[in-house]
Amino acid sequence: MNFSNITWLDDKGHIKPPLYLYLILVYIARGWCIFAASLTQASDRAALVALFYPQKSDFLMALVAGFGALLVYGAVIAERKRSPLWVRPIFAQLKWVLLLLLAIDGALLLERSINSYYLYSWSMGLDALLLFWSLIYLFKSKRLSYYFADWPKEGPDEKNST
């Protein structure tokens, strides 16, 4: 059988992380992305942050909520290297961690909506749309489910060592 047409497998036969997983992580950690981009402006670093987050408290909450996405990204990198092994039980639960992070992001979106007295803005509408799509992808993607189940409880290296 020729499996060369399956592009989501790497050279070792493990499922590669889906691109949409990375996009969800960037969406959740967008506060950190804006912070990193603001560091590149030498003249006025706060101007870029204020463009996306007029309220300082919203920006700080986005940083706190986005920290979980950075941890999930670290677990994805650990899975690609298949080490350290203590990450494996956490990796199996990443779907629920992502759900929790999206719920926190939804609560922050609701708070922003309340603070703006429920006035519609394009940024909140876009955030709500991306949140909705991320939730659908999290529960309906078979590739993402296969990816989270790809790091087995006992690998071939551990079977040979015992």
- Strands of 5-68 (E only): list them: none
Mean pLDDT (the chain, rounded)? 81
**How far is it, in rounded angstroms, from Cα 34 to Cα 108?**
17
Residues with Cβ within 8 Å of residue 56, at least 6 apart in sequence: none
pTM reported for the whole predicted model: 0.79
Residues with Cβ within 8 Å of residue 80, at least 6 apart in sequence: 17
Residue 142 is predicted with a pLDDT of: 84
Residue 154 has pLDDT above 70, yes or no: no
> H-helix or E-strand containing 19?
helix 19-28
Residue 161 has pLDDT above 50, yes or no: no
| Averaged pLDDT, 34-51 | 80
Residue 1 is predicted with a pLDDT of: 59
pLDDT band (50, 70, 90) for residue 25: very high
Cβ burial of 18 (10 Å; 0-12, 13-18, 19+) is middle
Residues facing residue 15 across a β-bridge? 9
